[in-house]
Amino acid sequence: MSRPRAADAEVTVVSRIAATDTVTMLELASLDGAALPAWEPGAHIDVLMPSGLVRQYSLCGDPTAATWRIAVLREETSRGGSEWICSSVEEGAALRLAGPRNHFSFAPTTGAPVLFFAAGIGVTPIAPMAAAAAAAGLDYRVHYSGRARERMALLDELECLHGERLVAHVSGEGSRVDLAAVLGSASAGTVVYACGPGEYLEAVSAAAEGAGLELHLEHFEAVEAVAPVWEGAFEVELALTGVTVEVPPERSILEVAEENGAFVLSSCTEGTCGTCETPVVEGEVDHRDSILTPQERARGDVMYVCVSRAACPKLVLEL
Ligand code: FES
């Protein structure tokens, strides 16, 4: 676990409701009653737990509202993050947080048709994106998958806002999304946004790639690691100090850079949250995160140093 980050803000919980029997919805306001900053659909905040854990939650309310809303799934395998929020955080409690930050932005400006896919708690970043698509008058559909209606957070709200553009796939009722059929029949130029568990995203990716559609994903879980491109040790020059360090195969750039005095914000240490984003000055990167799109990887101008490595003998990083 990386060291805790400094909090950007303290907020208070003004409302807490059980969205389902496993999802708790919190509405957050500033301590002095001033409006919290507006945000873009797809943004998330880092919540800093008293234990030192830092967890990311997508903002899922109205981006222009004075308060922020998050929905937290109580994970069966919680290491104290979701369990603490769902069982210990009451109305009136103060929460320390950082952000918002956005690695899953939605750009409705092109006017292209959009297909949204959400499974389970993956609906949280998709909900404000779909609302933005509706407000922009786009041609869009939302495919929302879950096991049972009563366990699908925000379902009533989405049905109300999107009507027939919302398609609920409830496996307990025998309904499952046919990704190949939906994506295979999408019109050319359709852009796809998806969030959900790893296997679900793999299936959406395969179907979107098969249909030749542009795809944007938000992973809550790290993608499975593959063998590194550069198997041995490599050097990293820390451009801000001019120090060059050696990164052995069994250690991350983040660990070695911190050990050598670089200050790097970090949180998940598994390439999913984006906190450790670092500009690349020189060198070829073996991207191993779950955040960047293929186009962003090809640009090679940033990397996530908690997991990504060099694909060459030496990198120069803005650290
Ligand atoms: S610390 Fe989360 S992506 Fe690196």
Atom of ligand 1 nearest to the CA of 254: 4
pLDDT bucket at 4, cuts 50 / 70 / 90: very low
pLDDT bucket at 129, cuts 50 / 70 / 90: very high
Q: Return the exposure string of 166-177: e unless at least 16 CB atoms fall within 10 Å of the residue's CB, then b.
A: bebbbeeeeeeb
Going from N- to C-terminal start, the domains of the chain cover 9-101, 108-219, 234-317
Mean per-residue pLDDT of the chain: 92
Q: Has residue 222 got a pLDDT over 60? A: yes
Residue 184 C-alpha to ligand 1 middle, in angstroms? 34
Is the CATH number of domain 9-101 2.40.30.10? yes
Average pLDDT estimate for 146-174? 97
pLDDT bucket at 78, cuts 50 / 70 / 90: low
Q: Has residue 239 got a pLDDT over 80? A: yes
Superfamily of segment(s) 234-317: Beta-grasp domain (3.10.20.30)
The length of the chain in residues reads: 319
Residue 21 C-alpha to ligand 1 middle, in angstroms? 30
Residue 225 C-alpha to ligand 1 middle, in angstroms? 15
Measured CA to CA, the distance from residue 204 to residue 297 in angstroms comes to 20
Residue type, 212: G
What pTM, to 2 d.p., does this model score?
A: 0.84
For the chain, list the strands marked E by DSSP: 9-18, 23-30, 44-48, 54-58, 68-73, 94-101, 114-119, 140-146, 166-170, 191-196, 214-219, 234-238, 243-247, 277-282, 285-286, 302-304, 309-310, 314-317
Measured CA to CA, the distance from residue 61 to residue 47 in angstroms comes to 17
Q: Which helix (H) or strand (E) holds 205?
A: helix 198-211
Measured CA to CA, the distance from residue 169 to residue 176 in angstroms comes to 5
Class of CATH domain 108-219: alpha beta
pLDDT bucket at 294, cuts 50 / 70 / 90: confident
Q: Has residue 6 got a pLDDT over 50? A: no
Residues with CB under 6 A from ligand 1: 266-269, 271-276, 289, 304, 306
Summarised one tens digit per residue, pLDDT across range 55-70 is: 889 999 999 999 999 9
